[in-house]
Amino acid sequence: MKPATNSLPRNSPCWCGSGKKFKKCHLGKDPIHSLSMNEKPIFSEKRIYIKTEEQIEGIRKSGQLTKKLLDMVEDRIGEGVTTNDLDNWVHTETLANGAIPAPLNYGHGQGKRRMPFPKSICTSPNDVICHGIPNNQALRNGDILNVDITCILDGYYGDASRMFIIGDVPEDTKKLVEVTHECLKLGIKQVFPSKRLGDIGHAIQKHAENNGFSVVRDFAGHGVGIEFHEAPQILHFGQPGKGEMLRENMVFTIEPMINMGSYECRILGDGWTAVTADGSLSAQWEHTLLVTKSGAEILTA
């Protein structure tokens, strides 16, 4: 395994989805910034926003809508359903609730090398790590699928994803999905003031590797709430006691991506879809979290 570090590899795609390399985007220290009640949030790649109570309530409402949309997917998903079906259902229900699907057209104006994201959700089956684009291929018995939903409600973002198992799968596939979910839960247990980001990554990495799996290095969790992707990046590997200290009213995602084989990935020609380099299966679970005085509040549960 590649040794853990305190940042993404410099030449990896940046965690924020800009399409730029990490060294040309979010590489660098992320200082803390508190917003006053009347201050307009202007995104800075070097700032971690400490949210106000008003902002937290807005993010909480958006997070609950995201949960509702994932519950709907869980009720409807199955063999024969296409990922385009899922996308259409979520798109329609998002608009019906007065919200906007954040992924749709995301990336517009961020470079000419790839198109804006064309769908309202990300659907990542089998060997797709993340950012899969919905299509007309029907789900089949034995597939696993991550559905990643982010909605914008009254200007606030709620971001979460779940894994779904279609029909019967081998025991090692089921174990991958279960261990990845356990990794998310262990990462969340590390969230409270005075802990550091490295504590989150270490807990996830240790559990994944102890079960014979690998942790994706090229993508990470992120601050969220008033923008789709904010600082800091939340690595899913690392060293305990290292990295930025957690502070009350920080809001970010934890979204471990765990592979059955190597952690290495490659990006398909659409400029978005990240797949395992060796064709092995990959799983991911995600929640949006608020740092509270006593721990973490899961805003998307």
Token pair of 226 as six digits: 């008033």
Contact 149, 70 (CB under 8 A): yes
pLDDT in tens, 135-144: 999 999 999 9
At position 3, the amino acid (one-letter code) is P
- Predicted local confidence at residue 209, as pLDDT: 98
Q: Which CATH architecture has domain 22-36+43-298?
A: Alpha-Beta Complex (3.90)
Closest CA to 123 of 90, 172, 92, 152: 90
DSSP state of 286: B
- Predicted local confidence at residue 37, as pLDDT: 39
What value does the mean pLDDT take over residues 232-257? 97
Task: Provide the Cα torsion 61, 64, 66, 71; round to 10°.
Answer: -160
pLDDT in tens, 58-112: 999 999 999 999 999 999 999 999 999 999 999 999 999 999 999 999 986 555 5
Contact 93, 65 (CB under 8 A): no
- Predicted local confidence at residue 12, as pLDDT: 66
At position 25, the amino acid (one-letter code) is C
What value does the mean pLDDT take over residues 219-233? 96
Report the mean per-residue pLDDT for the chain: 89
Contact 262, 278 (CB under 8 A): yes
Rg (CA), the chain: 18
Of 107-116, 117-126, 242-251, least confident by mean pLDDT is: 107-116
Closest CA to 167 of 263, 61, 81, 292: 81
Taken in order 68, 42, 229, 87, is the CA torsion positive or negative? positive
Distance of CA 86 to the CA centre of its chain: 18
Q: How many angstroms separate the first and last alpha carbons of the chain?
A: 33
Provide the pLDDT confidence category of residue 115 given band limits of 50, 70 and 90: confident
Domain residue spans in the chain? 22-36+43-298
- Predicted local confidence at residue 47, as pLDDT: 80
pLDDT in tens, 24-54: 665 554 444 444 434 443 334 458 999 999 9
Check whether the bond before 31 is cis (ω within 30° of 0): no
Q: Percentage of the chain surpassing pLDDT 70?
A: 82
Closest CA to 81 of 159, 160, 134: 134
